[in-house]
Amino acid sequence: MRPALILAAALRRLGEGPETIVAVSAKCCADLVASLLAINALGAAYLALEPGYPAQRLAFMLENSGAPFWLFPGGVPADCVAPVPCLVGRSDLAALDPASLPREHDQALVH
């Protein structure tokens, strides 16, 4: 549970919370479970994306959802093309400047 809480804290610092969407991709593993638990703990929703989808479809899904980044708990595939920042884990989340992310939702929802 500790990895999920650490990830939830990092996501909260980036402005994720109730009524926000976190795009996530991972093979079924402990990192995926921790990511989904973290997103759930925030009250956010997750958008499951498959990196193998056509780039145009991924771009549409990311743009339409308003997700400010794409989380890859197990590592970003080499052939992945994304119109938003791709984050691998806690180290990427800690280093990212929240002001650099596009926000479509009301910041007042973030606790």
- Taking only the tens place, the pLDDT of each residue in 39-78 is 999 999 999 988 788 888 888 998 899 888 888 877 777 7
pTM above 0.75? no
Q: Which residue(s) pair with 23 in the sheet?
A: 47, 70
Pick from 2, 16, 19, 5: which is nearest to 71 by CA? 16
Q: Quick one: 44 exposed, middle or buried, by C-beta within 10 A (0-12, 13-18, 19+)?
A: buried
pLDDT in tens, 83-106: 777 777 555 655 655 555 544 433
Region 21-39: mean pLDDT is: 84
Interstrand relation of 70-71 and 45-48 (parallel, antiparallel or unpaired): unpaired
